[in-house]
Structure 1
């Protein structure tokens, strides 16, 4: 009985710590992004991104889609996508390229802040997410164009319902989202604690050692990386913040893990979401995985050639 009481007490403390950490980040950022949107900042960003869209074979109006996605989330980008008249004339290849941008760089105000809290500097995070996203989309554009693949007209698999744009509707939506985050945190931490007790976590370490060695990520970050890849950076990042604050994971591994999660996270939900736009699985899953693995393998090897002083100055935040 005492062991069971200790189990639930430790679990409660972990849930409270991770929840408070995430909500302290998410709630102020959500409010700031709403204010930015109200002041026209998202539209301005879309206009700035418009000319870049031509480099990846997209109409300028898709810049607003990416801007909304980066400022808010993939759902917001999808809603904006359906308001653009040019979306009806896009090919499957073009939608897949756009989806690549959305998958790599979305929800940046919250997710970049989570990375900062875990110990990663803001500059490298934004460079990797935005620059890496554009490079990924450019590579997809070249591959599909050169091969003549997926050039058929795109067919939408989903049309959004009417959205309540009032302040009360927005507050209700955000409240539902935060409640869902809390529920996932409770289920996730409970499952991880049980898996750790029955020894499944050690089995995961052993099975994933070859991949982790390739990526240059330490075994201490295995569970957190898996959580982020499958469920999302917010959840994986929340756990990583907790572990980083205890000092159980080195700053080098924190950076490598967050870099990988920046390029490749929420493979289940986000992939299914952009498939509703008509994006093809070849780009949004398989090529995304290959691109992320190659980038992080190269990045960690480059990091290992740099001095600890370089890491402290440009990559990770001091304690």
Structure 2
């Protein structure tokens, strides 16, 4: 393609952008495309890398490597493969491995609750860790925070249930995974469907936010949640994103945080703490309902996890006040 053609395309694109910015629907569409494209640039390369890692069998190797650590959480060593699958891939794959290993036949409700909570806190790390890094959070901190948080929560739950002799009955499983193909074509189709769904959800989310802002509901939500958010050091401007991330997932909340980190509408500290909170407690509806199929205790995987997130982020917020600018830069660097 020659220089004249490039200039023509560039000019056409500029004119199209200006035309879209001229009306409210066009501006909304541009916002959706901007957010979605930012998500695509992160997700697609990482998903391909994870796919290759899975095919090479590295997940199994890593699962066996962490199996000795599972005793810390009162779990059999082979459950390490389940958690490693969740961390490198997703909850669906981890649940399939759980079933294949006969987790339902060997674990109590307490043990499944511990494993499920750890999976809910630390899963999909390649993709979600990259999204966190795009908001300015250092990748090493994003990964250590989620894995460390999952391990801390696992230890607390294990010792609590053991000391109080709670949930020691055999688990009852209500889910059996469907056998899925392993070919590249089936994988590409699945990822394409996921991206289409992500585009639709982002479109709806941005539209709802605009509608709430127009109706004045956004201010009411901010007023109601501001006292609670102040306890963990987060400003009111991050309220919408926290609600979206908590309800729907880190990918969607994170994609909005990426946009805000570049626009400067939300303070950098609030972006960092919001990302930290969503790292520990996100997608409370879908993920919770999904993991319930393994038979864990609902209070543990929902309310205990949410309370844990509030406590940890509140402590993190206090710790940030004592950090110098240089040390804070080790954790977070605005894009």
TM-score after normalising by structure 1: 0.96
Q: Determine which of 232, 236, 256 is the counterpart of 2:253.
A: 236
**1:178 and 2:178 matched:** no
Establish whether residue 253 from structure 1 lines up as the match of residue 286 from structure 2.
no
- For residues 158-237 of structure 1, what are the structure 2 equivalents within 5 Å? 158-237=175-254
The structure that has the greater radius of gyration is 2
* Runs of at least 5 residues in structure 2 that lack an aligned partner in the other structure: 1-18
Q: Which moved more, 1:273-282 or 1:300-309?
A: 300-309
Aligned pair 1:112/2:129, yes or no?
Answer: yes
Q: Which residue of 1 aligns with 2:28?
A: 11
What is the CA–CA distance in structure 1 between the aligned matches of 2:208 and 2:47, rounded to whole Å?
A: 28
Query: Does residue 120 of structure 2 align to residue 129 of structure 1?
Result: no
Query: For residue 333 of structure 2, what is the aligned residue in structure 1?
Result: 317
Distance 1:263 1:144 in 2: 21
Question: Match for 1:103 among 120, 129, 141?
Answer: 120
Offset from partner CA, 1:82-138 (integer Å, 9 cap, x none): 110344121111110000110000000010100110110012111110000011011
Correspondence 1:36 to 2:53: yes
SS in 2 for 1:53: helix
Coordinate RMSD, CA, aligned:
1.4
Provide the secondary structure at the position in 1 that maps to 2:323.
Answer: coil
Aligned residues, how many? 316
SS at match of 1:295: helix
Equivalent residue for 2:67? 50
The answer to whether the aligner puts 1:283 opposite 2:300 as a matched pair is yes
Report if the CA contact (8 A) 2:107-2:170 is conserved.
yes
What is the Cα deviation at residue 318 of structure 1?
Answer: 4.6
- Separation in 1, partners of 2:170, 2:183: 35
Q: Partners of 1:166 and 1:128 in 2: how far apart?
A: 34
The answer (yes or no) to whether the contact 1:93–1:141 under 8 Å persists in 2 is yes
In 2, the alpha carbon distance for the partners of 1:15 and 1:142 equals 46
Distance, in Å, in 1 between the alignment partners of 2:239 and 2:225 is: 8
Alignment partner, residue 313 of structure 2: 296
- Is residue 18–residue 242 contact of structure 1 (8 Å, CA) maintained in 2? yes
Q: Give 1:168 deviation, angstroms.
A: 2.0
Contact 1:215–1:293 (Cα < 8 Å) also in 2: yes
Q: In structure 2, the residue corresponding to 1:290 is in which secondary structure?
A: helix
* 2:97 corresponding residue in structure 1: 80
Residue 67 of structure 1: how far off its partner (Å): 0.7
